[in-house]
Amino acid sequence: MTLRIRRAAEADLPGIIALIHLGALGGQGAEELGPPLPEAYYQAFREFSRYPEAKVLVAELDRHVVGTFQFHILPNLSNRARPTAEVESVHVMEAVRGQGIGGAMMARATEDARRLGCRRLQLTSNKARSDAHRFYERLGFVKSHEGMKLNL
């Protein structure tokens, strides 16, 4: 089996949204899957093209999308003005977890962040996702900050 991490194409969007939907806590996905997939997802995907280093990536296993994540660069005035890379919305199809796909995706994010001169790579993960926390800690991520969110 061949694993490939690549920038997502608009044609990948239905599969990406399905992965996000299936990864919802408690099995209750919040995404609208269609068909057709709502135009709002396409509009949001197109927004990434406005920012050169913001992108949606997919993990492809034998030409099937089995994982996805978003990668963003945040300008920063601290840390000697070195940018911060952020990973968001990381999902791997449950049937293929444990096969190194998530690790390959995070290796790609780390490589891109280093190439872009980032000071750090950061992410948030829901407190209920203890398996994900163990995964990130095995990769060297440290629980150094307490994150907070305000739903709008």
Average pLDDT over residues 65-73: 97
pLDDT digits (tens, 9 = 90+) for 88-138: 999 999 999 999 999 999 999 999 999 999 999 999 999 999 999 999 999
Q: Which residue range forms the structural domain that includes residue 26? A: 3-138
Residue 150 lies in a domain: no
Residue 59 lies in a domain: yes
pTM above 0.85, yes or no: yes
Residue 107 lies in a domain: yes
| Angle at CA of residue 129, ends 10 and 108, nearest 5° | 45
The pLDDT of residue 23 is 82
C-alpha R_g of the chain: 16
The pLDDT of residue 29 is 67
- Which stretch of 33-37, 64-68, 109-113 has the lowest confidence by average pLDDT? 33-37
The pLDDT of residue 124 is 94
Place of tokens 């949001």: 44
Number of domains in the chain: 1
Residue 108 lies in a domain: yes
Domain CATH number, residue 117: 3.40.630.30
Beta carbons of 28 and 76 less than 8 angstroms apart: no
Q: Could you give the CA distance from residue 131 to residue 148 in angstroms, rounded to a whole number? A: 20
Average pLDDT over residues 81-91: 97
Residue 148 lies in a domain: no
Beta carbons of 67 and 91 less than 8 angstroms apart: yes
